[in-house]
Structure 1
Amino acid sequence: MNERMLQTLEYNKMKDQLKAYVSSSLGRALVEKLKPSSTYEDVKEMLEQTEEGHKILRLKGNVPLGGMKDIRAHVKRAEIGGMLNESELLEIGGTLYAGRRLKSFIETIFEEDLIDIPHVENLVDGIAVLAELEKQIAQAIDEHGEILTSASSALRSIRQQIKSHESAVRSKLDQITRSKDHQSKLSDQVVTIRNDRYVIPVKQEYRQSFGGIVHDQSSSGATVFVEPQSVVTINNQLREAKVNERREIERILMELSEGVQLHQEALLENTNRLAELDFLFAKAFYARSLDGVLPTLNDERHLRFLQARHPLLEADEVVPIDVEIGDTYNSLVITGPNTGGKTVTLKTVGLLTLMAQSGLFLPVEEESEASVFATVYADIGDEQSIEQSLSTFSSHMTNIVSILEQLDHESLVLFDELGAGTDPTEGAALAISILDEVYQRGARVVATTHYSELKGYAYNREGVMNASVEFDVDTLQPTYRLLTGVPGRSNAFAISRRLGLNERVIKGAEAEVSAESQQVEEMISSLEEKRKEAEEEQRAAEKWRREAEKLHSELEQELEQFEQEKEKQLSEAEEKAEAEVQKARTEAESIINDLRELQKEGHHVKEHELIDAKKRLQDAPPELSKKQQKIKKKAKQSQEIKEGDEVKVISFGQIGTVVEKINESEFQVQLGIMKMNVSKEDMEKRKTAPEPKKTKPVARVMSNEPVKPELDLRGERFDQAMHRVEKYIDEAVLAGYAQVHIIHGKGTGALRKGVKEYLKNHRNVKSTRDGGMNEGGIGNTVVELK
């Protein structure tokens, strides 16, 4: 991928967007080095890495990436025995903490086992946790890059000395500045520092009054800064203590630097892995910002971008487009007005291809497909060169010549306004010849043009498809929508009418246009009207489908709620009835006990009558059973089950077919796509398998209507069309045809592909081919029958 092409397709501007999502200079450096790969395996791995980062963001919402620094230069200096300063060591400690925190975060996701992230897991596994070195740095250096007093006992002692000496010096100097004898000799009653020594400001004429050392004087010379003799000794002691402090700090820094040297390999490996992770998550954050999706990747140079949006355009301004190339056709010729979106379409196709080959998600809809091209070539925009004295045409042609010298079957080529800048007749002829050359070499090509001659080009060439950018004549504005399969129509006359040009002038102009051109325009106009009608019908059908799905979902919920409520009420009724029965039993037992007491007292109550009464009470309660008990009771009834019977498996509530009898109490049952062993008691017989009928000769009843030598499927739905093809081939064979035509049109190619796949394996089909120039081209499949 050459730099000029990347610049043309604004790849570097896209990378600038990506840079906004890195967390460190480590990730930024990898973004700057990012280039599209032309190897399928590499692209697949890069997309998988981005997908893993995207999964983590969806699961956790964010990732702790702060604190990473590029410490490789620091580690290299420590490696050769250099002493690192406080800020360098602080960056190393911060990076160690960042790596440990990120590793812990990712390991938590591993433990939850909610998503599969092998690439991230591999990167994180290689991050070494150097807890001791991290702790030593944190205990020695504060967050502002200053050595802590607690870094060593020696440093603590030295700093206590410094504090003591400073206090003594300031105390003596304060006594001098407050003394009434000396106040008139001082320029100001303050203690200041010169040459790292405490001094007082003395008027020039009194410099000898204090003795000691003069360290500085004011710019006017009226004031000198004197270190009085009385504090020289203490200042010397203070100076010595500060030298000792510096030596101790250097010793501490050297000790920490040696620790860095000891772990140099682990630190460098950590840095490299953190850079990869920062870059990986930057791609994931960028994907989220674009509302991007993972495209299906293929190595067949087939692009299918659904509702694709250019990432550099504002989301509320861009008009999504559907564009496909490389399946049923390899060349796409786009016509339409200026500023209608043709160039944006080219750049969208080119940039999205480069993004996919860089391991990035695309701003497209689900089920979009991307492929890997060895090279992408683009000739886009005004290439006029004043420095080289080249016209627009010459500059374009120079670029095209270079492209034609290098492209092959693994290339994607983008031509903007092919053949423009010269005589229209010659330019159109040249454009057609260039497109033929690119097509013959097997490359995929998307080209835009103004030339009307190229509108018919797609109809006369197999593997070439027309497309156009839509223009609204009523508003005199482009809609920026891409219409595949429909060439752009000239709107000059319609626009002129809308702008008020005299009708007589327009009629005169129309008379100058050939009848053939007028027919082409009328055909294009008719195609546009039919397309709009089809889109309206599709929108209406989609609306009804959504409403039906919504209604179906609501009914399912209501049915489920009804069943739950029914079960609840049954359960409550059973509980209530059981409670009443239990109450009755308790009362009855009480009555019987009272009767026994009466019997004991001599009243005439027979024992067998008490026993009979108690038995009747026990038998009195109704048999209350749960739903499952009722079902099991019903299932246990005598029923004969054999292979082929339709049964209901009670425990699952599913209907199935008996496949095989395993033993007297167990059968194998087909439930949907599953086969399972089910006990006889868990089955309820629904339908008995039909008895096999004796085969009889069957006579085919032929229709009185003769079978035509062609079948027209245009406008048919796919399922209905395939059913008609199956029926038609059988009728054609019986009618004795050796060859038939199946007309399916060009369209999106789905119906054509389906027909060819079906015919390829049909027992009565000898061969198939596309129609010739006079047979409808690729819109007609000619079938040779056996």
Structure 2
Amino acid sequence: MENWTLKPLEYSQVKEMLKQYTSSTLGKEKVEQITPSADYQEVQNRLQATAEGFDLIRLKGDVSLGGIRDIRASLRRARVGGMLYEMELLDVASTIRAGRKSKSLLKQIDEERAALPVLRSLTEKIIPCDTLEERILYCIDEQGMVVNHASPVLAKIRHEMDRIKQQITNTLQQIIRNPHYQKMMQEQIITQRYDRYVIPIKQEYRGAFGGIVHDQSSSGATLFIEPEAVVQLNNKLKECELKERKEVERILQELTNLVAEAADALEQNVTILAELDFILAKARFGNAMKAVVPVLSTERKLRLKQARHPLIHPEQVVPIDVEMGESYQAIIITGPNTGGKTVSLKTIGLLALMAQSGFPIPAEEGSVIPVYSGVFADIGDEQSIEQNLSTFSGHLTNIIRILKQLDERSLVLFDELGAGTDPTEGAALATAILEHVIEKGCSVVATTHYSELKLFAHTHPRAINASVEFDVETLKPTYRLLIGVPGRSNAFAISKRLGLPESIIQVAKSHLSQDENRLEEMIAALTQERKTSEEERSKAERLRKEAEQLVRELKEKLQHWEEEKARLKEKARQEAQEIVRKAEREAEEVLKELREWAKKRPQEIKEHQLFEAKKRLSEAVPDVEYPEQIISQPQQDQPLEPGDEVFVPRFNQKGTVVESLGQDEYLVQLGILKMKLHHNELQKKASAGSSVTTKVMTSVQRKSVDVKPELDLRGKMVEDAIVEIDKYLDAAVLAGLKYVSLIHGKGTGALRTGVQNFLRNHRSVKSFRLGSHGEGGAGVTIVELK
């Protein structure tokens, strides 16, 4: 496309890198075909697909589409009635399987975790061809052989072939073991020549050994003879092989016809799988390059954060920050040769091409790129060499072509604008070209050595100076791009460092015009101001880190204090529990004494009086309050995350955060309900390290002892049994048992009757019955408690 300068910006090299991350030739073909787009919606769709590829790999790991094959040629041949061979049919089955796996993979991902609309839309269009896949794999094994059970006829033919081969082998074994023939043989082996079974015979015994000669050794000393005894068997084997080949071809043709019937669906699936492979390749490339999906701007705003040229080694590349399109639309970069001006220029242009192709760009999150109608670049002098023109003529020819095509949405890149001719005229021409391009509304980045262009960028309201940094101390470029600071020539500083006498340098300075001296002084002042601001920024950053460290230490101390406070509270809680347990034991002892007294004097106390006494004892047990849990109030600068456990005071319920809805609102699961609640309505449950606590008090519940679901009363008197039953039922109710079994045995029935009479009036008994078969029958009473 004429609107895209691809070769000088090394766009094809980036595509070659991307091809390495595809899983199929189809994916490589998609990479080869892609070009930048000037349509905003198309670019948005491309980048959306790439972002979903990142999400899919993040959720499922490096998804492999290695089963995809380019079966389009096979489909064309199947349509016209040609026959597909075994490996071609296996490729068809492999592609069907890859489509099925891709479709299944997207179904496994919950839409609440990742919507992935582009990928889901693609996979939903994959047409299932499972029956065809199963038929192919039923007939052909992994080695590409048609298997015996592919058809009854083939199985019968191969069975017959195996039988004939066995007869041939047995016959030849008898010959080579016969002492009469052993002296005639060169070796006692059975081999094949031209698909006929033969044995090696010495040349001198040719007349004595009957049969057909099929071959001889290179020396002529050995003849490979088919004995007459196996000629007919070999002929039958040959006939069977012909039948086998015919039946295999029939099976392959049958499978080919099935492929032809599904050709349209398969072709659609191949197109979709190629797109999926391309999307995943972009995501893998992005992960390897530590790249991001940029934000698209509708207002021609460019903001690259820590942008890196993708073709420079990560350990050598120097990131650059670039902003353009808001306060200014032209950047004029100056600086020494080999300082990184052209690399900066190429980085901007190449990343724009990558973004408009849907590729992730090697930059930091938050980078913004507009959709340009075209990226035009005049870089280097390759064209001037090809056209046998001077450097200036070559550049100018290219610039004239660019000026005819650009519009207000174009990005224009000029490398060494105006170079190759008289400096005065070249600077004037460069200024005029920049004024024309800026007037058109284009975004412009230009590199130059001309001081006049530094003044132009300083005075033009829509332009800004920039430079690549040069370290005068080491006499080496740092390759850092400094926006807002024009580049110094550094010629005098370098000359001084190299030892040129000061007198000569001063004479040289005197030859500079007043404007040139003023410009150099301005640049020096700007450079010093930038250096001072960077030092201040470094100092502020250091203080910020120290403050953060101090906050961390204070939080750790507060956490330690909270842990110590919690430990003391836990100790107090345990002591309170021990007091309760002691009171309960004393109450039980009192109750036991009361029961003994009632047993000795039953006429003096009624059962309900015992219950009243027990109630008074229970009420005498002290209630102790202690903190049940520590609740952490979420800080405004620390939002809740999905999965966090929270407490909702308004409903006195615990819940789990399901999703962040933005603006400090969250979707919270409360039992079977999901509710939208504000941040201020939630209290986060404490984790290790919580620093803010809320005390929640609760009463200590008396701990019930372990209670068995049955009570054995066999051998006891009725009065003793009733006392034990009463105590047992109270304990069972406290333990939360719903049903218990009272084992009284059958015997005379007196104990059973006494037990059941007692149960009829017991306050904790809802109902009772005799045990059924398997529960003990009449020897057991099953009691349902209230």
TM over 0.5: same fold? yes
Per the TM alignment, residue 310 of structure 1 is displaced from its structure 2 partner at its CA by 0.3
Residue type of the alignment partner of 1:135 = E
Q: Counterparts in 2 of 1:694-733, with a 5 A limit? A: none
Matched, 1:360 2:356: no
- Aligned position for 1:9: 9
Residue type of the alignment partner of 1:47 = L
Q: How far apart, in 1, do the equivalents of 2:460 and 2:384 lie?
A: 35
- The answer as to whether partners of 1:158 and 1:241 remain within 8 angstroms in 2 is yes
Residue type of the alignment partner of 1:76 = R
- Aligned position for 1:416: 415
Q: Secondary structure at the match of 2:108?
A: helix
Per the TM alignment, residue 251 of structure 1 is displaced from its structure 2 partner at its CA by 1.6
- Aligned position for 1:170: 169
- Residues 1:214 and 1:570: Cα distance change in structure 2 (over 3 Å): same
Q: Secondary structure at the match of 2:122?
A: helix
- Aligned position for 1:96: 96
Matched residues, percent identical?
Answer: 52
- Residues 1:651 and 1:537: Cα distance change in structure 2 (over 3 Å): farther
Per the TM alignment, residue 156 of structure 1 is displaced from its structure 2 partner at its CA by 2.1
Per the TM alignment, residue 416 of structure 1 is displaced from its structure 2 partner at its CA by 0.2
Residue type of the alignment partner of 2:442 = A
Higher mean C-alpha deviation, range 457-466 or range 313-322: 457-466
Q: How far apart, in 2, do the equivalents of 1:227 and 1:613 lie?
A: 115
Per the TM alignment, residue 123 of structure 1 is displaced from its structure 2 partner at its CA by 1.1
- Residues 1:215 and 1:622: Cα distance change in structure 2 (over 3 Å): closer
Q: How far apart, in 1, do the equivalents of 2:202 and 2:293 lie?
A: 80
Matched, 1:74 2:54: no
- Residues 1:373 and 1:387: Cα distance change in structure 2 (over 3 Å): closer
Per the TM alignment, residue 117 of structure 1 is displaced from its structure 2 partner at its CA by 0.4
Q: How far apart, in 2, do the equivalents of 1:180 and 1:297 lie?
A: 91
Per the TM alignment, residue 212 of structure 1 is displaced from its structure 2 partner at its CA by 4.0
Q: Counterparts in 2 of 1:13-412, with a 5 A limit? A: 13-110=13-110, 113-186=112-185, 188-202=187-201, 206-218=205-217, 223-383=222-382, 385-386=384-385, 388-412=387-411
Q: How far apart, in 1, do the equivalents of 2:535 and 2:279 lie?
A: 43
- The answer as to whether partners of 2:3 and 2:405 remain within 8 angstroms in 1 is no
- Residues 1:246 and 1:561: Cα distance change in structure 2 (over 3 Å): farther
Residue type of the alignment partner of 2:28 = R
- Residues 1:345 and 1:153: Cα distance change in structure 2 (over 3 Å): same
Per the TM alignment, residue 124 of structure 1 is displaced from its structure 2 partner at its CA by 1.1
Q: How far apart, in 1, do the equivalents of 2:580 and 2:681 lie?
A: 45
Residue type of the alignment partner of 2:83 = M
Q: Structure 1 length normalisation: TM-score? A: 0.75
- What whole-Å deviation, never above 9, does each CA across 1:550-573 have from its counterpart, x for those lacking one? 554565566467556645643552
Cα RMSD of the aligned pairs, angstroms, is 3.4
Residue type of the alignment partner of 2:424 = T
Per the TM alignment, residue 170 of structure 1 is displaced from its structure 2 partner at its CA by 3.0
Per the TM alignment, residue 673 of structure 1 is displaced from its structure 2 partner at its CA by 8.9
- What whole-Å deviation, never above 9, does each CA across 1:616-672 have from its counterpart, x for those lacking one? 98787665335699x9xxxxxxxxxxxxxxxx988899xxxxxxxxxxxxxxxxx99
Per the TM alignment, residue 326 of structure 1 is displaced from its structure 2 partner at its CA by 1.2
- The answer as to whether partners of 2:4 and 2:374 remain within 8 angstroms in 1 is no
Q: Counterparts in 2 of 1:504-653, with a 5 A limit? A: 504-549=503-548, 551-552=550-551, 555-556=554-555, 559=558, 562-563=561-562, 566-567=565-566, 569-570=568-569, 572-584=571-583, 586-587=585-586, 590=589, 624-625=624-625
Per the TM alignment, residue 465 of structure 1 is displaced from its structure 2 partner at its CA by 0.6
Q: Secondary structure at the match of 1:8?
A: coil
Q: Secondary structure at the match of 2:197?
A: strand
Per the TM alignment, residue 225 of structure 1 is displaced from its structure 2 partner at its CA by 3.7
Q: How far apart, in 1, do the equivalents of 2:614 and 2:515 lie?
A: 107
Residue type of the alignment partner of 1:292 = A
Q: How far apart, in 1, do the equivalents of 2:152 and 2:546 lie?
A: 78
- The answer as to whether partners of 2:50 and 2:358 remain within 8 angstroms in 1 is yes
Q: Secondary structure at the match of 1:333?
A: strand
Q: How far apart, in 2, do the equivalents of 1:303 and 1:131 lie?
A: 49
Matched, 1:429 2:428: yes
Q: Secondary structure at the match of 1:7?
A: coil
Residue type of the alignment partner of 1:306 = K
Q: How far apart, in 1, do the equivalents of 2:393 and 2:268 lie?
A: 52
Q: How far apart, in 2, do the equivalents of 1:347 and 1:531 lie?
A: 25
Per the TM alignment, residue 611 of structure 1 is displaced from its structure 2 partner at its CA by 14
Q: Secondary structure at the match of 1:167?
A: helix
Q: How far apart, in 2, do the equivalents of 1:280 and 1:383 lie?
A: 34
- What whole-Å deviation, never above 9, does each CA across 1:399-453 have from its counterpart, x for those lacking one? 0111111111111000000000111111111110000010111111100000111
Q: How far apart, in 1, do the equivalents of 2:5 and 2:450 lie?
A: 25
- The answer as to whether partners of 1:336 and 1:470 remain within 8 angstroms in 2 is yes
Q: Secondary structure at the match of 1:385?
A: helix
Higher mean C-alpha deviation, range 129-138 or range 319-328: 129-138
- Residues 1:65 and 1:673: Cα distance change in structure 2 (over 3 Å): closer
Per the TM alignment, residue 3 of structure 1 is displaced from its structure 2 partner at its CA by 8.9
Q: Secondary structure at the match of 2:625?
A: coil
- Residues 1:301 and 1:617: Cα distance change in structure 2 (over 3 Å): same
Q: How far apart, in 2, do the equivalents of 1:79 and 1:512 lie?
A: 83
How many pairs align? 637
- What whole-Å deviation, never above 9, does each CA across 1:721-742 have from its counterpart, x for those lacking one? xxxxxxxxxxxxxxxxxxxxxx
Residue type of the alignment partner of 1:46 = R
- What whole-Å deviation, never above 9, does each CA across 1:255-309 have from its counterpart, x for those lacking one? 2112212222221111111111111100000010110112110122221101000
- What whole-Å deviation, never above 9, does each CA across 1:151-173 have from its counterpart, x for those lacking one? 22322221222122122223333
Per the TM alignment, residue 579 of structure 1 is displaced from its structure 2 partner at its CA by 3.4
Q: Secondary structure at the match of 1:109?
A: coil
- The answer as to whether partners of 1:383 and 1:392 remain within 8 angstroms in 2 is no
- Residues 1:81 and 1:672: Cα distance change in structure 2 (over 3 Å): closer
Q: How far apart, in 1, do the equivalents of 2:569 and 2:301 lie?
A: 60
Higher mean C-alpha deviation, range 199-208 or range 390-399: 199-208
Q: How far apart, in 1, do the equivalents of 2:97 and 2:309 lie?
A: 39
- The answer as to whether partners of 1:466 and 1:486 remain within 8 angstroms in 2 is yes
Per the TM alignment, residue 177 of structure 1 is displaced from its structure 2 partner at its CA by 3.9
- Aligned position for 2:491: 492
- Residues 1:207 and 1:590: Cα distance change in structure 2 (over 3 Å): closer
Per the TM alignment, residue 218 of structure 1 is displaced from its structure 2 partner at its CA by 4.8
- The answer as to whether partners of 1:383 and 1:396 remain within 8 angstroms in 2 is no
- Residues 1:147 and 1:51: Cα distance change in structure 2 (over 3 Å): same
- The answer as to whether partners of 1:458 and 1:464 remain within 8 angstroms in 2 is yes
- The answer as to whether partners of 1:64 and 1:101 remain within 8 angstroms in 2 is no
- Aligned position for 1:745: none
- Residues 1:599 and 1:130: Cα distance change in structure 2 (over 3 Å): closer
Q: Secondary structure at the match of 2:337?
A: coil
Unmatched 5+ stretches in structure 2 = 602-609, 632-647, 654-676, 683-786
Unmatched 5+ stretches in structure 1 = 603-609, 632-647, 654-670, 677-786
Higher mean C-alpha deviation, range 561-570 or range 38-47: 561-570
Q: Secondary structure at the match of 2:322?
A: strand
